[in-house]
Structure 1
Amino acid sequence: MKKYTYAELRELYINFFQDKSHQKLSSFPLVPKDDESLLLINAGMAPLKKYFTGAAKPPSKRITTYQKCIRTGDIDSVGRTARHCTFFEMLGNFSFGDYFKKEAIDYAWEFLTKVIEIPLEKLYVSVYIEDNEAFDCWINNTGITKDRIFKMGKDENFWEIGVGPCGPCSEIFYSFTDEKIENKEQFIEFQESGKIFEIWNLVFTQFNKNENGEYETLKNKNIDTGMGLERLALITQNVDNVFDTDIFVKIIDKIRKLSNVKNISQEVNYSLKVIADHSRSITFLVCDGVTPSNEGRGYVLRRLIRRSVRHAKLIGIESKFINDISNVVIDEYKCAYPELEERKEYIRNIVEVEEDNFSKTLNKGMDILLNSYVKELETLNSNVLSGDKVFKLYDTYGFPLELTQEILKERNISVDIDGFNIEMKNQQKKARESRKSDNYLGNELGVLNSTKNYETEFVGYEKLKIKSKIMDMIFENSFVDEMKSGETGFIIFDKTPFYPEMGGQIGDTGYIKSSDGYGKVLTTKKNLQGQIYHVVEVVEGKICGKTRDIELVVDESRRRSICRNHTATHLLQKALKMVLGDHVKQSGSYLDDQKLRFDFTHFKALTKNELEEVEKIVNECIYNQVNVKTEIMDIKSAQEVGAIALFDEKYEDKVRVLFVGDFSIEFCGGTHVSNTGFIGNFVILNETSVSSGVRRIEATTGSNVFNLFKESRSVLNNISHQVKATSQIDILNKVENLIADIKNKNLEISNLKSKMANAKLKVLDHIIKNSKIKNGIKVITNVFDELDVNQLRDACTMVRDKLDCGIVMFASVVNDRANVVCMANKNAVDQGIDCGKIIREALKFAEGSGGGRKDMAQGSVTNISKIGDAFEKVYEII
């Protein structure tokens, strides 16, 4: 058997299936499109799901791919086992209603035994116990003997993930031993011990599992196969660990050089593998548009980065390092995935910001976890860290729950998961509410996605009013022939001027009218088949499906506002590149008739001058009245003229390119003004952070700017009236004078308070005389009324400075709440006094909290009746 690299295996596989009349598709991005059921693409068939269900027509009945995938369910096993990876490539060949079991089995066997030349004695097969058809195909067509085929149950050989396409499967296994497997029990035992492992899964999708758990026979039976490239490389390179394959060896060599480790212990080896694995996932996730955040895909990325940083520190890497490893990943994969090289600078910037941010907090969080929480548990003889402490590490110091668990597991300490989940309740609720719904006004989209295959012609670039006929009408999860007044449902026409929601642009609204009735179009979208559907509320009469000439009218005023905002978005992206640099890339957008929102890669907040310059450039382009045109071009020609594409989008062979004169050229299917002059004006409303390395600008145009001006003028007029300014120009002087007067009065008030405080502080000598001495340390406590925190600190300082070796803790009650300050002089600190720890422990007895340094700390309590208990705790601690 010849030794093959990753690149060679990829090419062999794709060429083999292209010779078998399969169309090659490029890998889809890791972020799923139009599939809310998946967080990330986790299987080769996942991006093709709509073809399996019949919701969309595939470009060919035979397809082959190498698909990048992410799975983090077994992240704790990465580096501990020989074959677990978070990122992997899945080689796949697919048939949509074309060939079935016989051909799928024949192709797999031919590729493995004839192309790769794996010896027959190294291969075993499993089939579903009820699938006699597949069993017969193996026996009759491949020459494999019965004693190498094992019939397994549903758990092992029936492929399904929740609802959707499913069916029996047949798996091909490779044996690492020359020992012959004699029976089913030994076959299972060898799998569990790692002596054999699955390399290729042939799934025969005969059924669709519905939400009731019922299996419906698919009209067109399909083939879905998946073979892990990493596993195939492991076999052909004659190694028993995926981390010993060619790409991983290069990545790990780079990590070792950065770490300067000399002795590769078991734990060092583990950390090297974790970093190597995670570096691939990090690079590909960022490349496909995922940015670090505290939820969803961004949390997966953040977790991988932070886990890598932690393991890097364990092997002596203290400086930023991920980009150095990422460069190796890019070099090794750029031939198969050229987008990695194209987005190299973007990847570098995102990773560097996140790594830098985490490094700043990691040491602090580790110190709190190990030197505070763990030591406290040791004192209490406990091995469970409370949920509130785990949540504080997560919320304040950016520690993922899994990282805390991993660190504590090494010390035989567990985590109070229930307590953590309670603390996370609000965030989880927010996340659930932000997830997109799968329905609209009670209508299930499953019915909408089961329409027949036909195309909806969009004519809305040129026309806003047409007559059309209804193709499908859906009400309350069923296809219907009519909808009556008061009912809301979906309607698909053979052609429409309504632009569907996509590309960040909101869908059109308007109305439809027939001889029988009138309905409002509430929004317009696309289903999985690419058909444009209209959410329609029938207002008068009824809408009948058999009526041929139905009038469709788009809300023209709203559409014009949307067009202004959309074209302005293109101008904004160009202006940002001019002001900030070419690293600026679009990370997302949304625009409606009121405003536009544009997310872009940048690594710090824009300055006032930068925002003004961006605004100026956009408005200059508007005032210059530049013509806007679109052209349908092939991708290559579009790229040659410099058209900018969204990097997470897959485009057809022909694309629509928007030209704003020579100023901006971009791929875009949206609706736009014909001349920039129609935008009117452009105003930036705000600029904020979205996540690490991603900023957001919100802006508005046209009549919305005028409305904004009217609101601002109204506010100014009200201020002018309040401050009795003679004109708007006089407002600033009046406000400045008012601010100066307020500052002077505040100073007077502060001086008066200080005098009052000094009067109260005369009692300090008396307080000092009544102090207690504990273990040679003078302890002074007292409660005051109506002192602010600054005055309380002054009091502590005055008393502390009069002591030779002592600690002072004063409280001041204001409105049923007390502020507390604790100070110790140097001699007391040298004796072991730690104000931060003392105030943290003592205030618990008065339902309070606090913290600080060894020589000074402060906090507050809510139960003022128990301040005395807190003071008594101070003596006990000392």
Structure 2
Amino acid sequence: MRTAEIKRRYLAHFEANGHTVVPSAPLPAIDDPNLLFINAGMVQFVPYFLGQQTPAFKRAVSVQKCIRTPDIDEVGKTSRHGTFFQMNGNFSFGDYFKEGAIKLAWELSTGAYGLDPERIWATVYLDDDEAFDLWRKIGVPAERIVRRGKKDNFWSMGIPGPAGPCSELFYDRGPAYGRDGGPEVDEDRFMEFWNLVFMQYEITDVKSKSEFTVVGDLPQQNIDTGMGLERVASLLQGVDNLYEIDEVRPILARAAEMTGKKYGAKSGHVAGESHPDDVRLRVIADHVRTALMLIGDGVTPSNEGRGYVLRRIMRRAIRAIRLLGWQEPALPELLPVARDCMAPSYPELAADFERISQAAYGEEETFLGTLRAGTTILDTAIADTKKAGRSALAGDKAFQLHDTYGFPIDLTLEIAAEQGLDVDADGFRVLMAEQRARAKADAKARKTGHADLSAYRTVLDANGPTDWLAYETLETDSRVLAVWGTGEIVTVALDRTPFYAESGGQDSDAGLLTGPSLRAEVIDVQRPVKGLVAHTVRILDGTIAVGDTVHAAVDPEWRVGARQAHSGTHVVHAALRHVLGPSALQSGSYNRPGYLRLDFAWRGGLSDVTRSEVEEVANQAIRRDLPVGVRYVPLEQARHEGALALFGETYDETVRVVEIGGDWSRELCGGTHVDRSAQIGSLAVTGESSVGAGQRRIEAVTGIEAFRYLARERDLVGRLAAQLKARPEELPDRVTALLARMKQTEKEAADLRARLLDLDAEEYAAGAVDVGGIAYVGVTITGDGKTLAEKVRNRLGNRPGVIGVLAGPGLVVALTPAAVDRGLSAAHLVKLLLSGRGGGNAGFAQGKATGDPAELLVQLRDLVGAA
């Protein structure tokens, strides 16, 4: 049974039993400050379990995309660890409880999935007699029901809140997989495939998974279950592990074919351990699929947060296939295979593949460049290590290559071994541990638990949703429902508001709240919980209190500028797709009055011609005065009509579609817009830059800000034309000629300086004084002390010589080879002169000088004489 069919049957089973099918949330955990990625099926339902929000349904079912990265280094070493996985889950919010969950799980497992009921085992919490009796009632014999402790069969989120016992289902895969006796004896043979969590308690004083205090029963009992889709697939497809199911094995097979390796090779390796080639093939298969899913959900490679995790995953895959012998770009061979594996369950991956592949291939290209640069640096470090007579590359050098340049430690070890060197792995591990400790401390400092939204929730429950009128009006008379905070800056909830709350890339409105004894500036507007609008205000005059009637007024000029910018963002997006093609899809945006920026998928910068063409297409659309319309339609209808959505965003079943010129621009959007495109005024592109591999950013100004920008440009051109006594159209040729002349002048000046330096070096070498049989030169100059010291040294030829040059605060000491042969060292002399500061080698050293320069050169001469 293919994985897509397993997913379909799961959803159909629970939908037929009264559950609302809830789509998977995007992998980025946008609404949870503690998570980078969704890591469990219940994450999007946490606000319901915590009582922060009231669900619109009592029963739900989902197949949630998940990412777990704490064990990323274990991926491939065992058959259990995977970075991306899918979690089937059914949920009850105060509806059915243990009996219903157990009955539904048994019916699906033995019915639609056809698992042999004689091979299913169940575990229950130690004292959960109710669950034990329910399994007995359904037909599981007592000898196949195992009681287990808190470590295995009690669930919590690791923080004070809901918790409860759980019951896990295991399937006996047969004697070929291990010993008989149930999951207590062998969890390889007896594979867990479903966990039913019975949320019935509230806990506090949480110290660990097994140390907490049960406060009492929850107001309502909930069900949260998790069935690993990949695990069930391995059972139903009769394969050993998640790497061999239909959604993963083809990627692994293609990697094996590319590298000439055979998966499952055991010859000559330690029994019981995976062969290194197998580990690498599993890493490739898992990480390529994970990268596909992350980029599909809008994550792009970067050096921070989610983007860094994606980058690390991709680089581990690229590194693994290089270690198997493949030196060319690998993702163009592997990513299409992953797409074909996953598209039956996620058809949007095929539709968006051009964008996804651009980001992925660009990242691989960048990393291959990193590897080339890192190899050069490593080669130099190896040469220096050998020259110094050491047998091991320093741990700090290996760490620098890893941390600064992204050069994998595995490759450092491999290349060093090829050159007959070890690597100070202990030193490297110490530095890595220190870095991880710093990162962990930073994460702990930032982690504050689930945001306390109870105060907002209380206001929402007591008064209902805010009457949000931002689309209809700029002014309302409103009643104050709540005030949080004291002093000059407070947060206010109103029963109705005309203010746009920041969302969808659009900045919040500005304006005033006024009353008989109040004048307050609105400086921010947010939605802390769905349905409630909260205004952050600065009190200018008077006071504000619950029950007051206030006049809420949006600054009309602000709103005009905001509408122009947001509509301008849509116009620029459409223009980009018109000029570059449909793969130039928006991945993020921000707009405020008069300004917009838009991030989009594209490899390589835009030429001046292309940038001008995008600007021209956008302004032509503005000039055509296209109608701007808004419709509310079902999400699936909007997708069918080709409406563009922002990656990573979660949408309701009914969505708002904004159209400019009908299908010329059609996007899902909750922002404020002009009525016709000509109201944007004009649009000027002000910049285009890179924001990551395969990602570009275009910036523009609109309306009056565009006129001001163009006026400044015109003024600048006018002043340049006047200074150069040329017409504006002649400026490019004039500037090019000036630059050419300047370059030639700089070259001539450099040649003259070099000739003068040669003359100086000749003079200084001729004037060298004899100090104990060593030619000594000590000079103070303004200029390039290093070059002068080298030139003087060359002119001393075979004579033992020491040259000291003070150039500003910098001291340079150079020795001829004959002086080095006599046992002198430039590095030693510099350290003696500068009290241990400075550095270099026997022939050349430098450092920052302090004190009297003349005295320093005298001291150097004395040191030479004493030697």
TM-score normalised according to structure 1 size = 0.81
Can you list the C-alpha shifts for 1:225-264, whole angstroms capped at 9, x where unaligned? Answer: 1011121122233333332333333222111111123694
- Return the alpha-carbon distance in structure 1 between the equivalents of residues 341 and 400 of structure 2: 39
Report the CA distance between 1:105 and its aligned residue.
1.7
Structure 2 residue matching 1:615: 3-state secondary structure: helix
From 802, 805, 810, the counterpart of 1:817:
810
Q: Write the distance in 2 (CA, Å) between the matches of 1:419 and 1:849.
A: 24
Q: Does 1:668 align with 2:699?
A: no
Which amino acid is the alignment partner of residue 448 of structure 1?
Y
Asked if residue 456 in structure 1 is aligned to residue 466 in structure 2, the reply is yes
Corresponding position: 1:347 with 2:360: no
Q: 1:425 to 1:91 in 2, by over 3 A?
A: closer
The 2-side partners of 1:607 and 1:809 are apart by 54
Confirm whether residue 578 of structure 1 aligns to residue 586 of structure 2. no
Select 1:86's aligned residue among 80, 83, 88: 83
% identical aligned pairs? 31
Task: Find out whether 1:134 has 2:131 as its counterpart.
Answer: yes
- Structure 2 CA distance for aligned equivalents of residues 781 and 313 of structure 1: 54
Deviation of 1:356 (Å): 1.0
Instruction: Go from structure 1 to structure 2 and tell me whether the alpha carbon gap of 1:341 and 1:159 turns closer, same or farther (over 3 Å shift).
Output: same
1:650 partner SS: coil
Question: How far off its partner does 1:558 sit?
Answer: 0.7
SS of 1:511 mapped into structure 2: strand
Query: Equivalent of 2:196, from 195, 199, 202?
Result: 202
Counterpart residue type for residue 493 of structure 2: I
Alignment of 1:278-427 (within 5 A): 278-366=287-375, 368-369=377-378, 372=381, 376=385, 385-387=394-396, 389-395=398-404, 397-399=405-407, 413-416=425-428, 419=431
Q: In 2 relative to 1, CA 755–678 (structure 1 residues): closer, same or farther, beyond 3 Å?
A: same
* Deviation at residue 745 of structure 1 after TM alignment: 7.0
Superposition deviation, residue 616 in structure 1: 2.2
Alpha-carbon spacing, 1:174–1:427, altered in 2? closer, same or farther (3 Å) = closer
* SS of residue matched to 1:414: helix
Q: State the 1:782 CA deviation.
A: 7.4
CA contact (8 A) 2:124 2:145 kept: no
CA distance in 1, matches of 2:844, 2:352: 49
- Aligned pair in 2 of structure 1 residues 285, 712: CA closer, same or farther (>3 Å)? same
1:315 Cα deviation (Å)? 1.2
Counterparts in 2 of 1:94 and 1:607: CA distance versus 1, 3 Å: same
Query: How many angstroms apart in 2 are the aligned matches of 1:752 and 1:291?
Result: 51
* Deviation of 1:563 (Å): 0.8
The AA in structure 2 aligned to 1:586 is Q
* Cross-structure match for 2:865: none
Is the alpha carbon distance of 1:579 and 1:315 closer, same or farther for their aligned partners in structure 2, counting shifts above 3 Å? same
Match of 1:107 among 84, 92, 104: 104
Is 1:157 equivalent to 2:179 in the alignment? no
Cα-to-partner distance string for 1:28-74 (whole Å, 9 max, x where unaligned):
21112322221011111112222322333434221111111111111
Q: Say whether the 8 Å CA contact 1:516–1:541 is kept in structure 2.
A: yes
2 CA distance for matches of 1:867 and 1:429? 49
Give secondary structure in 2 for the equivalent of 1:73. Answer: coil
Deviates more, 1:421-430 or 1:506-515: 421-430
Q: For residues 629-688 of structure 1, give each alpha carbon's deviation from its aligned partner in whole angstroms, at most 9, with x where no partner exists.
A: 222233344345433222333333332222222532222111011122222222222222
Question: Following TM superposition, by how much is the alpha carbon of 1:572 offset from its aligned partner in structure 2, in angstroms?
Answer: 0.8
Structure-2 residue corresponding to 1:630: 630
- Bigger mean CA deviation after superposition, 358-367 or 34-43: 358-367
Q: Deviations over 1:68-90 (max 9, x none)?
A: 11111111211111211111111
Q: What residue in structure 2 maps to residue 513 of structure 1?
A: 514
**Counterparts in 2 of 1:43 and 1:323: CA distance versus 1, 3 Å:** farther
Q: Write the deviation string for residues 491-536 of structure 1: whole angstroms up to 9, x where unpaired.
A: 142x322111110011112223345644332211112323222223
Q: Does the 8 Å CA contact 1:170/1:203 hold for their aligned counterparts?
A: yes
Report the residue type matching 1:280 in the other structure: R
SS in 2 for 1:589: strand
Alignment of 1:179-190 (within 5 A): 188=184, 190=186
Aligned-partner Cα distance in 2 for 1:859–1:706: 57
SS of 2:544's equivalent in the other structure is strand
- Cα shift at 1:196: 3.2
Map of 1:527 onto structure 2: 528
- Give the Cα–Cα distance (whole angstroms) in 2 for the partners of residues 120 and 377 of structure 1: 66
- The Cα of 1:407 is off from its aligned counterpart by 9.7
Change (3 A) 1:448 1:582: same
Paired residue secondary structure (1:543): coil
For normalisation by structure 2, the TM-score amounts to 0.82
Code of the aligned partner of 1:284: M
Q: Deviations over 1:744-798 (max 9, x none)?
A: 875675455334312222258769999999xxxxx99977654855x96598589
Q: Hey, what does 2:237 align to over in structure 1?
A: 237
**Hey, what's the Cα distance between the residues in 2 that align with 1:124 and 1:413?**
45
Tell me whether 757-766 or 48-57 shows the greater mean CA deviation.
757-766
Distance 1:112 1:869 in 2: 88
Unaligned stretches of 5+ residues in structure 2: 208-212, 267-274, 862-867
Could you tell me whether the CA contact under 8 Å between 1:797 and 1:823 is conserved in 2? no
Q: Which of 16, 22, 26 matches 1:19?
A: 16
What's the secondary structure of 1:247's corresponding residue? coil
Alignment-derived partner of residue 271 in structure 2: none
Whether 2:654 is the aligned partner of 1:654: answer yes
Partner AA of 1:622 in structure 2 = I
- SS of 2:77's partner is coil
- Report Cα offsets for 1:311-333 as digits up to 9, x if no partner: 11111111111232221221122
Of the structure 1 ranges 242-251 and 670-679, higher mean CA displacement relative to structure 2 is found in 242-251
Rounded to whole Å, the distance in 2 between the matches of 1:207 and 1:461 is 44
Secondary structure of 2:49's partner?
helix
Q: For the residues of structure 2 that align with 1:407 and 1:747, how far apart are their CA atoms?
A: 42
| Paired residues of 1:579 and 1:613 also in contact (CA < 8 A) | yes
Q: What is the CA–CA distance in structure 1 between the aligned matches of 2:58 and 2:361, rounded to whole Å?
A: 43
Alignment partner for residue 61 of structure 1, among 58, 65, 68? 58
Specify the code of the residue in structure 1 equivalent to 2:466: T
- Partner residue in 2 for 1:30: 27
Q: Which residue of 2 aligns with 1:776?
A: none
- Quick one: structure 1 residues 327 and 124, their matched pair in 2 at CA, closer, same or farther if it must change by over 3 Å? same
Which blocks of at least 5 consecutive residues in structure 1 are unaligned? 477-483, 774-778, 825-832, 852-856, 872-878
Q: Which residue pairs with 1:591 in the alignment?
A: 591
**Secondary structure of 2:364's match?**
helix
Q: For 2:787 and 2:42, how far apart are their aligned partners in 1?
A: 66
Any residues of structure 2 matched to 1:663-742 within 5 Å, and which? Answer: 663-709=664-710
Distance verdict in 2 for CA 1:603–1:767, change over 3 Å: farther
Q: SS state of the match for residue 690, structure 1?
A: strand
Matches within 5 A, 1:533-552: 533-547=534-548, 550-552=550-552
